[in-house]
Amino acid sequence: MGRTVRLAVVPGDGIGPEVVAEGLKVLRAVTADSDVAFEETLFSLGAARYLETGDVLTDADLAAVKEHDAIVLGAVGGVPGDPRLAGANIERGLLLKLRFELDHYVNLRPTTLYPGVASPLADPGEVDFVVVREGTEGPYVGNGGAIRAGTPHEVANEVSVNTAYGVERVVRYAFAQASARRGRLTLVHKTNVLVFAGSLWKRTVDAVAAEFPGVAVDYLHVDAATIFLVADPGRFDVIVTDNLFGDILTDLAGAISGGIGLAASGNINPEGRFPSMFEPVHGSAPDIAGKGIADPTAAILSIAIMLDHLGLATEAGRIRDAVTVDLAERGDARRSTAEVGDAIAARLDQ
Amino acid sequence: MGRTVRLAVVPGDGIGPEVVAEGLKVLRAVTADSDVAFEETLFSLGAARYLETGDVLTDADLAAVKEHDAIVLGAVGGVPGDPRLAGANIERGLLLKLRFELDHYVNLRPTTLYPGVASPLADPGEVDFVVVREGTEGPYVGNGGAIRAGTPHEVANEVSVNTAYGVERVVRYAFAQASARRGRLTLVHKTNVLVFAGSLWKRTVDAVAAEFPGVAVDYLHVDAATIFLVADPGRFDVIVTDNLFGDILTDLAGAISGGIGLAASGNINPEGRFPSMFEPVHGSAPDIAGKGIADPTAAILSIAIMLDHLGLATEAGRIRDAVTVDLAERGDARRSTAEVGDAIAARLDQ
Ligand SMILES: CC(C)[C@H](C(=O)O)[C@@H](O)C(=O)O
Ligand SMILES: CC(C)[C@H](C(=O)O)[C@@H](O)C(=O)O
């Protein structure tokens, strides 16, 4: 009798469904002969569903999603500027709502420059680090407001909320990652300007560091961190940072390591109180949707992160190996989304 | 009878004095035969002064600085982690205080990839854009606080404050820049997450755009903007953005265009109610201070921005030309800080 994993599938909008299809194809291939079965439930959520029904994410949707062991998400968001979407914020109402409601306090975003992948950097060196981005606090909490909106006297505020509880748990997770990797952790913040939040982050890292004597710790201001990501990405092992800085740094990390088409992520609730969610870092890219040209690699690598999270490290490793070989042999060939998925799935048997 | 410009000189800490000396050397050379005289007043402010006197910036200092037509600043900040500086925040108490008190609402940061300068990007193309960073609002206002600090129940908040007044004036400045350049303006923000501040910025740009029909406007989320800065920097002409995003993007801009040693900036009060301040984007770099190896080019180019601001465009252009030639011929030669300043000053006469 094997194990059954209840998988919520949220393909979303734009290229989301296209890349998720390939991710699931690879998932099915890698588990074909194993004793783990993935039972997929489809959730049609996103801009398209909102336009049809007026709902972004209902309480019933959320309750249903919670009944699963993991979530695979493609991408959400309609065509920018679509007037029919003016009243809704799909990102806040769906993606961020899932991250917050499911307490995904670790947003895990690994960056590897794979052999054979062209980097836009002249001399990237070896790139292999992971960003541990806080996922439930900071400027993302939605604690903003405006007075006198639309007048010359408008004041619009946004509050970044940071708690000892929230910072400590993600910092501890990051140290554990660093311990299991090359033993180097970099805190990124802007402590000289955001003195209260910065001080909390800094003190927390200093305190947790005492529990991990084998991890070397350093600190960079977020502005300086962008310089190092371009000039010396090899210096990084684990970066821990807040929700907004993590958002910015991980797009940049994608850009220096073969593009956002390869950047995978996990929104993780480490204790497993809620299902964790795995998604490519890229968005719904409505401009190329429907053409079958989106690169599904990020979605496929996100499946590998999910398998790791579910304790299926062997299967995760097999996917990464297949992707590594595919990338090395990819060259300039233009393949369709499905062809890339097929090729990676086929390599799993070799 | 010529014009006299009263210049406040704040060399600051670390390499600040070293690079400012070269900036002033070039300033003296370029104005040698002109009818403008610069009357320099030295202000010893920074970490060193704080350690000596306990003062960061007194009311008397501020009043005295205000009696000038312009300010040249090197860099401020002591050795990171110096316990004697633990009680002070030189960045907030001096640099940001000057920007806020002198209403430097435009933080102007041009980025050019000069001929002959190696870019870390494999294929940078032509890079020539300017970031108009808001300088007096946003997350930089110092409107933060903490409760239960030092306990497991600590909550540390930071408030980003954005006003119609503050956003509109910097946006209008940015449009004027775009008009005078290649007619392209990119707003960078994170409107899908920071919905209140983002909405104010977006609506303001849309409104001011109507006054500048010749300027093409687009929008990028800050995370996506980092990708384009690496993958296609040539797409940018003028970027307008808030204080924090501008801080991050301009370090990245420096990194892709020859390094932070070339990145110049002006903190500008366009109406001239207060003196504007010109400084390299880089910091005090205590690790290389005193060795005479800091690159003064950013400080020298900051002098050129100052001359533009003072209506001395010919002199500004002569400095930029001299720098352009120096950079083109620089190669790998290791020159001292003074040698670079000497070389650029000498070229002014050619
Ligand atoms: C779509 C958006 C809300 C999201 C974020 O800002 O977190 C995205 O940029 C990401 O990085 O996953
Ligand atoms: C020193 C620091 C306060 C400053 C800033 O964040 O503005 C610096 O990074 C800059 O970009 O001028």
Each residue of A311-335: pLDDT tens digit? 999 999 999 999 999 999 988 889 9
Distance (Å) from CA B247 to ligand 2 centroid: 6
Q: Which residues of B touch A235 (CB under 8 A)?
A: none
Question: Distance between CA B24 and CA B345 in Å, rounded?
Answer: 10
CB contacts under 8 A, B 182-201 vs A, are 190, 192-197, 199-200
Say yes or no for a CB contact (<8 Å) between B158 and A120: no
Quick check: A119 contacting B, CB < 8 Å? yes
Count Cβ atoms below 10 Å from residue A249 Cβ, excluding itself: 25
Quick check: B222 contacting A, CB < 8 Å? yes
Query: What is the rounded average pLDDT of the residues A182-196?
Result: 97
Query: What is the rounded average pLDDT of the residues A269-287?
Result: 97
Quick check: A125 contacting B, CB < 8 Å? no
- For tokens 């998604």, name the residue: A279
- What 3-state DSSP class applies to B217? strand
Query: What is the rounded average pLDDT of the residues B32-42?
Result: 94
Q: Compute the residue count for chain B.
A: 350
Each residue of B219-271: pLDDT tens digit? 999 999 999 999 999 999 999 999 999 999 999 999 999 999 999 999 999 99
Say yes or no for a CB contact (<8 Å) between A120 and B230: yes
B30 DSSP assignment = H
Q: May I ask the CATH architecture of the domain B1-103+266-350?
A: 3-Layer(aba) Sandwich (3.40)
Residue A279: closest CA among A134, A56, A71, A91: A71
* Local confidence band at B2 (pLDDT 50, 70, 90 cut-offs): confident
- For tokens 């002959």, name the residue: B116
Question: Distance between CA B265 and CA B107 in Å, rounded?
Answer: 7
Asked if residue B157 has its Cβ within 6 Å of ligand 1, the reply is no
Q: Are A71 and A62 in contact (CB under 8 A)?
A: no
Question: Distance between CA A46 and CA B22 in Å, rounded?
Answer: 57
| pLDDT the model gives residue A1 | 59
Query: What residue segments make up the domains of chain B, in order of their start?
Result: 1-103+266-350, 119-257
Contacts of B86 (CB under 8 A, 6+ apart): none
Sheet holding B138-147, edge to edge: A138-147, A155-163, B155-163, B138-147
Q: CATH: 3.40.718.10, 3.20.20.150, 3.40.50.720, 3.20.20.120. Which one for A1-104+264-350?
A: 3.40.718.10
**Enzyme catalytic residues of A:** 140, 190, 223, 247, 251
Q: Are A65 and A33 in contact (CB under 8 A)?
A: no
For residue A27, pLDDT beyond 80: yes
Each residue of B289-301: pLDDT tens digit? 999 999 999 999 9
Contacts of A57 (CB under 8 A, 6+ apart): A45, A93, A94, A97, A98
Contacts of B25 (CB under 8 A, 6+ apart): B341, B342, B345
- What's at B159, amino acid-wise? V
* Local confidence band at A51 (pLDDT 50, 70, 90 cut-offs): very high
Give the number of whichever ligand sits closest to the CA of residue A221: 2
The percent of residues above 90 in pLDDT, for chain B, comes to 93
Query: What is the rounded average pLDDT of the residues B266-286?
Result: 97
Q: Two tokens at B339?
A: 């040698």
| pLDDT the model gives residue B350 | 65
Query: What is the rounded average pLDDT of the residues A207-217?
Result: 98
Q: Which residues of B touch A148 (CB under 8 A)?
A: 164
* Local confidence band at A219 (pLDDT 50, 70, 90 cut-offs): very high
* Local confidence band at A104 (pLDDT 50, 70, 90 cut-offs): very high
Question: Distance between CA B53 and CA B48 in Å, rounded?
Answer: 9
Say yes or no for a CB contact (<8 Å) between A251 and B122: no
Each residue of B164-212: pLDDT tens digit? 999 999 999 999 999 999 999 999 999 999 999 999 999 999 999 999 9
* Local confidence band at B51 (pLDDT 50, 70, 90 cut-offs): very high
* Local confidence band at A243 (pLDDT 50, 70, 90 cut-offs): very high
* Local confidence band at B88 (pLDDT 50, 70, 90 cut-offs): confident
Lowest mean pLDDT among A116-120, A304-308, A328-332: A328-332
Question: Distance between CA A25 and CA A41 in Å, rounded?
Answer: 15
Asked if residue A247 has its Cβ within 6 Å of ligand 1, the reply is yes
* Local confidence band at B100 (pLDDT 50, 70, 90 cut-offs): very high
Quick check: B146 contacting A, CB < 8 Å? yes
Asked if residue A89 has its Cβ within 6 Å of ligand 1, the reply is no
CB contacts under 8 A, B 19-78 vs A, are 77
Whether B1-103+266-350 and B119-257 share one fold: the answer is yes
| pLDDT the model gives residue A331 | 82
* Local confidence band at B333 (pLDDT 50, 70, 90 cut-offs): confident
Domain B119-257 - what CATH class? alpha beta
Looking at every residue in chain B, the average pLDDT score rounds to: 96
Question: Distance between CA B190 and CA B206 in Å, rounded?
Answer: 16
Q: Which residues of B are annotated as a binding site for NAD(+)?
A: 283-295
- What's at B145, amino acid-wise? G
| pLDDT the model gives residue B213 | 97
Query: What is the rounded average pLDDT of the residues A148-162?
Result: 98
Q: A152 phi and psi, to 5 degrees?
A: -65, -5
The H-or-E segment that residue A345 falls in is helix A337-347
Q: Which residues of B touch A165 (CB under 8 A)?
A: 152-153
Quick check: B87 contacting A, CB < 8 Å? no
Say yes or no for a CB contact (<8 Å) between A247 and B77: no
Residue A262: closest CA among A287, A229, A235, A299: A299
Q: A283 phi and psi, to 5 degrees?
A: -95, -160
* Local confidence band at B87 (pLDDT 50, 70, 90 cut-offs): confident
Question: Distance between CA B122 and CA A140 in Å, rounded?
Answer: 34
Residue of higher predicted confidence among A86 and B259: B259
Q: Please confirm, yes or no, whether B223 is among the known catalytic residues.
A: yes
Question: Distance between CA B269 and CA B134 in Å, rounded?
Answer: 11
Say yes or no for a CB contact (<8 Å) between A158 and B197: yes
